[in-house]
Chains A and B, each alone.
Chain A
Amino acid sequence: MLALLAAAGDVGGALGDTPNQPDLLEARQMQALSFAIHIPLVCFGIAFPAMVMFMEGLWLRTGDPVYKALAKRWSKVMLVFFAVGVVTGTILSFEFGLLWPEFMATFGGVFGLAFGLEGFSFFIEAIFITIYVYGWDRFPPRTHLLLGVPIVITGMTGSLFVIGVNAWMNHPVGFSVVNGQVTDIEPWKAIFNDNLWHEIVHMYLAGYLVAGFLVAGVYARAWLKGKRDRYHRIGLIVPLTVAALAAPAQLIVGDWAARTVAENQPTKLAAFEGLNETEKGAEFTIGGVYTDGELQYGIAIPKLLSVLADHDPEGSVQGLNAVPADDRPPVNVVHWSFQIMVAIGTGLAALAAWYLVVWWRRRRLPDSPWFLRAVVAAGPLAVVALISGWVTTEVGRQPWVVYEVMRTSQAVTDADGLEIAYVVLVVVYLLLGAAVVWLLRRLTATKETVG
């Protein structure tokens, strides 16, 4: 670790000189765009199989065909999302090499193992999701339910390993840099780094929030249109309950995440709140624009940042100017994405509390149509919070691709024509987005059989 810190920023790219890439920003945006498309699908990979199996389990216990109809319908959606996720995930694998060859060439040996393990998870997931979805009514019911278990497990392990790589990029361990060369590689240590645990729990809960609220939103819309039969009622309550339980837990995990960032990446934390000077009792600003070294036009809450970062109102929080200007992330992007995530997360927790309190006291859903409207809005908002969270952590890591070891500008490809690729990719994703929206409308327009 000492060697690593001493050599910070001095690693040499394994492919040779630092590239001179004028379109670095385009490369970053292409990668970010591809992640933004893929990550919501990952949420369904994490959370949806368990929800489908829960529904099927209810059918097995009660014999009520409505449960089976819902489980079957959801499983088809699950397969479509998985298929699109296979594709968008493959694109990411390509982009790692196409856009960041120096990063891959220099550190592939350190973090690659995690992707190997993820690959196997993905493999087993692909196999069993097929068997499960095409196997309805082809196996004894209990066997069919068991065939879903590997999907649930691999959905979680797959994301675990990928997050392991991201956690490592933010908190690189398991190697040393000697004379610009990466040596003493310990791949297991690299995957299972300290940053992994809060990131993965945060992401699992995000998966349940996104999938839960999005699915609940579909049935909430049907309720608003007056379809209040048992099918739509169960379709609303089960995912809503899942999301409502995850939402408050996410606040607690978010707090854990913030404290870990304060410890491991103080510059990133300072960017969250545009804190220039290291301070004791630092304030938390809602809104505001970072100009001339401070957040202006925001609402300041005294000492709250110290409380969040340190659980101590007088705690010291490191400022941005503890590192050279070249080593700081773009503050406004990080600040705003952080604020959007926190605001939406808090709102979703409030919505969850509304639902849970009414349910606990009256054993029914809140009456108000505004509640249903809020549930409809909650799904897309959860996606926005998800993307904002990733922007917070990934833009907050800049200018480093491997935190304090390799700069993003060192990692990028030396090839020409990135602008063209960028335009093509945007067009392709717009088409993909339109196609998925079309499909979801189609799937919600047709009804599932009960029986």
Chain B
Amino acid sequence: MAEVLVGLIVLGLTAYAVLGGADFGAGAWDLTAGGAKRGGAVRGMVKRSMSPVWEANHVWLVFVLVLAWTAFPVAFGSITSTLYIPLFGAAIGIIFRGTAFALRGEAATIGEARVLGAVFAVASVLVPFFMGTVLGAIASGRVPVGNAAGAPWSSWLNSTSLLTGALGVVTGAYLSAVFLAGDSERAEQPALVRAFRARALGAGAVTGALAIGGLAVVHADAPRLYDGLTSGGGLAMVIASGVAGAATLTLVWTERYGAARATAAAAVACVTVGWALAQDPYLLPPGLTVSEAAAPDATLTALLISVAAGMVFVVPSLWFLYRLVLQGRLDQSYEPLDQRFQPLRAGDSDSDSERRAP
């Protein structure tokens, strides 16, 4: 049962890495879009794509946290108390990011939108970086069992963690560019399609190079993890991820963004699954195995029943949401983010009929 729950946590992490990661990446593109005028088009597209889905995408993180503390409470307490600095940083980043994004929709001047946008975008880069360092710290065996028993700084400021942090940022940017290229195509914005295609190709190349080059870093810093990634299931997943990544680049090159969406997600999924396989059977290598860390059976059974029951509701709901989104039924009309602040377009697009109010 404990293995099933690990599987669910990996599933949740994968979903968060793909869906949440793409949202973070969208923030990174928002950050690098350029000045208010030049970047308006990209920012408008980011906003349009993210608005309907970001809350649902974000919930995967809560799902992972809840499963972790219920099924593996000792590991959870050890991780949070040792890695409190990056986790606190991520939490603060999440506050800034979510709030700024929600509020930017109501900004009335370009100045307000610029401040909120900058906060949103900077936080979008910091959160996946911190999250990445946390995963790197766990994978490289730097989280001992105990209340704040690990090193507060070197546990996450080391070569493996910095690598995973950087991978967290660029992977999101890459996924996001692929998704946004597809969304721009649906919104019939050829200039934006080209812009995001170029970004997807660039970010894909960087991500791939970093992932392959990173193996050398892992080899030097965390030999056990390296062994796991270069043998058995771990190796299979690393190869599969490389194949999916290459396929994505090809699909993006040939402008087939729908299929690229799937392969890009698969490439990321292979990494999270590969990581899990590489450190199997340990939850907190090198000391704590999954079976040692698991809560008693009564808890695991109840949790699995709840997850199964919950999925009965969540899966069709999610399917419904993404179907509506991909069909464009929830689409907002696209407008560059700077244009709504021009005098004639101020306020909600439908507010001109206000005068008819009795």
Contacts and interface: CB of A to CB of B under 8 A. Distances in A.
Interface string A114-146: 011111101110111111001100100000000
B91 A15 contact: no
A127 B299 contact: no
B306 A116 contact: yes
Nearest to B75: A105
Interface in B31-63: 51-53, 55-56, 58-59, 61-63
Choose among B59, B77, B303 the residue with the greatest number of A CB atoms under 10 Å from its CB: B77
Contacts of B146: 15-16
A119 B90 CA distance: 20
A126 B59 contact: yes
A165 to B, nearest CB: 11
Interface in A410-451: 413-417, 421, 424-425, 428, 432, 435-436, 438-439, 442-443, 446-451
Nearest to B65: A93
A96 B108 CA distance: 37
Interface stretch (A84-92, A238-246, A308-316, A365-373): A84-92
A356 B348 CA distance: 37
Contacts of A187: 298-299, 302-303
A19 to B, nearest CB: 5
B10 to A, nearest CB: 16
Interface stretch (B186-194, B273-281, B309-317): B309-317
**Interface secondary structure of B, over-half rule:** helix
B291 to A, nearest CB: 14
B69 A86 contact: no
A451 B296 CA distance: 58
A108 B293 CA distance: 12
B53 A108 contact: no
A442 B108 contact: yes
A106 B81 CA distance: 14
A134 B330 contact: yes
A89 B59 CA distance: 10
B106 A439 contact: yes
Interface stretch (B93-101, B161-169, B207-215, B249-257): B93-101
A150 B70 CA distance: 26
B235 interface: no
Contact of B310 (A13, A94, A123): A123
Contact of B147 (A19, A80, A112): A19
Contact of B88 (A98, A124, A150): A98
A79 B296 CA distance: 39
Nearest to B299: A109
A251 B123 CA distance: 44
A186 interface: yes
B66 A98 contact: no
Interface residues of A, number: 85
B259 interface: no
A219 to B, nearest CB: 14
A447 B309 CA distance: 42
A297 interface: no
B78 A15 contact: yes
Contacts of A414: 81, 147-149
A104 B357 contact: no
Contact of B314 (A90, A120, A424): A120
A69 interface: yes
Contacts of A278: none
B307 interface: yes
A123 B318 CA distance: 9
B80 interface: yes
A436 B350 CA distance: 24
B244 interface: no
B306 A91 contact: no
B59 A450 contact: no
Choose among A101, A102, A134, A188 the residue with the greatest number of B CB atoms under 10 Å from its CB: A101
B76 interface: yes
A94 B81 CA distance: 11
Contacts of B317: 123-124, 127-128, 150
A449 B59 contact: no
Contacts of A204: none
Choose among A91, A113, A134, A428 the residue with the greatest number of B CB atoms under 10 Å from its CB: A113
19 contacts: A15-B149, A87-B97, A90-B98, A97-B77, A98-B87, A105-B74, A105-B147, A119-B63, A123-B63, A123-B318, A127-B317, A130-B53, A130-B56, A230-B358, A413-B81, A415-B148, A415-B152, A428-B95, A439-B106
Given A109-B296, A138-B330, 10 more contacts: A14-B73, A80-B106, A83-B55, A83-B102, A84-B99, A93-B65, A105-B147, A108-B76, A112-B69, A414-B81
Q: Which 4 A-B pairs have the closest CB atoms?
A: A112-B70, A108-B73, A97-B80, A105-B77
